[in-house]
């Protein structure tokens, strides 16, 4: 797009090219680094090529790959991706050629994990174990540090050989380079430790060595930690000093990172306000001359445009939004932002998979990282298909089927689409689910799905309708508490509370310790601060400073945000700690929040009865009573399949997906994936 054309766009600054002197980015977007596990999967490089090529076609300005280690010690785990041989370089060429064939630019991230490495070869600036790792790192000798500098340079040269347009040197998030710069992890007294001048020597030597190895016309992005958010992290003055030194050492672009992985402050979860940290990037932008990138929780083109237009950053990095929609930029350029499948920062199929050793994908877009095996091909034989249930599974199936050319009718007894997504969005900070409902609603219109809401369709009507296939996405029925008093007026289901807004007393017992129980507890204890929408309030709640007037950005948490309007106690029958089913990268956020709000948790109980005194329960052979006004039951659900038998008896082809198929924990990830897979198959 020409500069003149960009001036007529709704996003003139975001879509404006960036001239780096010897090369030109077609717009101000960067697809941020995200490890997919395809790097270690058989046949994974071809799949990665398809994955990145689709994002290049979607007009990502510059793609940055997942982290590749410069040597064996730097790997994430034993057998993880590295590049220190020509053979490994050659394997990457299929990726770079695919991206270039689709008009894109791509940089390889060089990531040395240091003490975050999950293997016995892990090394660090000092012999200080990470609280999130079982491995104590070996302290690097001075000779090993110099060798690692050389390994970065070799890795960059091999990336250049593979056809990459640049590299990103990962210097944030608590990985090796960050471990050298912070006193938290560097207690050395040699040339690599002690004063800040010595602690920052390692990243400077790395950038200098890389620049010498690759020459002038090669992009070097340095990812600089702006807010370490851990005790013993860098001060703002140190961050600025390092940024200027990196600029002088030969970097092309400074990307910005927020928080170490071990920080107890959320930085990318759904609870984080959109664009919460761009003001910190703006503060750095005043100190350096290089183009500066901002990141974290930027998920729509309007926000990206606003950030760049007001001068907070020169470029915007978005990783998960490009998982959710490969055509993010192209849709913005075509003024089709309403059709962007928005990242909701749930982490369930991306980061939770990454840290769980699974293949990365996306809750709202199951095609992500599955571009070679999940495609929505136009059908040669259109069918008349009914989908019953407009929750996540039904919406996914309906839109994919209609996109492929089938004649689809979607039924739901409710007056609006969304199903359980409408329940989830009631949880404070989870209103991002509105975006998923908005997206599916627009896709229903885009692909001409006939929608009948407020209608509980019968099996007889479906048979009479002449449908060739019927998909049941009819969801679940909450399980009741089968004890004396379980049907009293003081007993509510989670749907009564979250969906139907029935009144709840001041003293509450929640029966069930899974994800639904946590969501209900978060809802009932919320003090109405809505910190998810206000960066300043969010910073007060979690104890950090967006002005970076304190070391590492840390400050005391606000007591105001810990107040709960109710006294809540959670119960579960099973032994052990609560929250075992919560997400790996977000569960701790919910646990801390409820702990600070004074929510009590009691496990290994039996439920005996409910009466005017409250909830009677057994614990360690004794009967106890919790005085309470309300008991909220979050103890599971049953699949709703009432239409299955009569339809099958009538000879109709019936398919069951989502909660109707398996009513465990409510799982939008599985529901949307099942809908998409069935839609692609029929």
Q: Find residue 611's DSSP bridge partners.
A: 614
Neighbours of 272 (CB within 10 A): 23
CA distance 568 to 525: 8
Neighbours of 522 (CB within 10 A): 21
Q: Which residues contact 133 (CB under 8 A, 6 or more apart)?
A: 115, 116, 117, 118, 122
CA distance 284 to 210: 23
Q: What token pair was written down for 604?
A: 């290994």
Q: Of these residues, 116, 175, 494, 518, which one is catalytic?
A: 175
Whether 376 is a known active-site residue: answer no
CA distance 547 to 585: 26
CB 391 within 8 A of CB 473: yes
Neighbours of 198 (CB within 10 A): 16
DSSP 3-state of 361: coil
| Structure letter (DSSP) for residue 292 | B
CB 671 within 8 A of CB 391: yes
DSSP code string of 404-422: TT-EEEEEESSSSS-THHH
Helix, strand, coil % (nearest 5) of the chain?
Answer: 35, 20, 45
Per the rule left: phi > 0, alpha: psi between -120 and 50, beta: everything else, 59 is left
Residue in this structure with the two tokens 């797009």, named with its chain if needed? 1
Q: Find residue 386's DSSP bridge partners.
A: 409, 470
CB 601 within 8 A of CB 634: no
DSSP 3-state of 629: coil
Q: What radius of gyration do the chain's Cα atoms show?
A: 26
CA distance 380 to 281: 51
H-helix or E-strand containing 601? Answer: strand 600-602
Query: Which amino acids are annotated catalytic?
Result: 175
């Amino acid at each position: 797009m020409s500069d003149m054309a960009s001036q007529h766009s709704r996003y003139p600054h975001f879509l404006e090219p960036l001239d780096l002197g010897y090369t030109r980015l077609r717009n101000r977007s960067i697809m941020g680094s995200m490890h997919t596990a395809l790097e270690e999967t058989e046949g994974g490089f071809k799949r990665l090529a398809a994955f990145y090529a689709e994002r290049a076609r979607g007009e990502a300005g510059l793609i940055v790959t997942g982290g590749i280690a410069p040597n064996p010690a730097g790997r994430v785990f034993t057998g993880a991706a590295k590049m220190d041989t020509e053979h490994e370089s050659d394997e990457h060429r299929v990726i770079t050629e695919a991206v270039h064939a689709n008009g894109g630019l791509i940089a390889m991230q060089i990531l040395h994990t240091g003490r975050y490495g999950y293997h016995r070869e892990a090394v660090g600036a000092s012999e200080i174990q990470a609280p999130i790792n079982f491995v104590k790192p070996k302290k690097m000798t001075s000779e090993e540090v110099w060798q690692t500098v050389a390994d970065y340079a070799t890795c960059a040269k091999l990336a250049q050989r593979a056809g990459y347009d640049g590299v990103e040197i990962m210097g944030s998030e608590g990985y090796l380079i960050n471990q050298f710069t912070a006193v938290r992890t560097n207690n050395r007294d040699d040339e690599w430790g002690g004063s800040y001048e010595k602690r920052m020597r390692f990243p400077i030597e790395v950038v200098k060595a890389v620049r010498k190895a690759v020459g002038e016309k090669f992009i070097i992005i340095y990812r600089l930690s702006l807010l370490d958010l851990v005790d013993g992290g860098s001060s703002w003055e140190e961050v600025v000093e390092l940024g200027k030194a990196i600029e002088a050492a030969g970097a092309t672009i400074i990307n910005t990172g927020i928080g170490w992985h071990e920080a107890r402050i959320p930085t990318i979860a759904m609870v984080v306000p959109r664009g919460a940290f761009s003001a910190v990037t703006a503060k750095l932008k005043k100190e350096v001359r290089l183009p500066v990138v901002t990141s974290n929780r930027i998920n729509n083109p309007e926000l990206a445009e606003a950030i760049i237009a007001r001068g907070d950053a020169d470029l915007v990095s978005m990783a998960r939004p490009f998982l959710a929609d490969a055509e993010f930029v192209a849709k913005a350029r075509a003024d089709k932002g309403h059709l962007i499948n928005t990242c909701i920062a749930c982490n369930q199929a991306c980061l939770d998979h990454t840290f769980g050793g699974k293949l990365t994908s996306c809750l709202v877009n199951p095609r992500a990282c599955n571009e070679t095996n999940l495609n929505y091909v136009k059908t040669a034989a259109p069918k008349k298909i009914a989908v019953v249930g407009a929750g996540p599974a039904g919406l996914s199936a309906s839109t994919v089927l209609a996109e492929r050319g089938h004649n689809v009718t979607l039924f739901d007894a409710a007056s609006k689409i969304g199903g359980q997504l409408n329940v989830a969005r009631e949880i404070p900070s989870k209103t991002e689910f509105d975006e998923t409902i908005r997206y599916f609603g627009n896709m229903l219109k885009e692909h001409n799905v006939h929608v009948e809401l407020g209608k509980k369709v019968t099996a007889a009507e479906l048979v009479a309708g002449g449908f060739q296939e019927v998909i049941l996405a009819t969801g679940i029925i909450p399980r009741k508490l089968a004890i004396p008093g379980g049907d009293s007026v003081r007993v509510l289901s989670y749907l009564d509370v979250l969906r139907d807004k029935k009144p709840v007393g001041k003293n509450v017992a929640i029966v069930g310790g899974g994800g639904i129980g946590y969501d209900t507890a978060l809802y009932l204890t919320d003090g109405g601060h809505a910190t998810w929408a206000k960066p300043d309030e969010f910073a007060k709640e979690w104890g950090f400073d967006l002005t970076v007037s304190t070391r590492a950005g840390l400050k005391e948490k606000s007591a105001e945000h810990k107040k709960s309007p109710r006294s809540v106690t959670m119960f579960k029958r099973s032994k052990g700690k609560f929250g075992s089913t919560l997400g790996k990268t977000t569960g701790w956020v919910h646990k801390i929040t409820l702990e600070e709000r004074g929510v009590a948790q009691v496990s290994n109980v039996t439920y005996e009865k409910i009466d005017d005194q409250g909830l009677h329960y057994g614990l360690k052979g004794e009967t106890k009573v919790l005085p309470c006004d309300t008991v909220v039951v979050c103890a599971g659900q049953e699949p709703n399949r009432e239409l299955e038998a009569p339809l099958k008896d009538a000879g109709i082809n019936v398919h069951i997906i989502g909660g109707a198929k398996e009513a465990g924990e409510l799982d939008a990830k599985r529901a949307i994936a099942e809908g998409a897979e069935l839609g692609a198959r029929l």
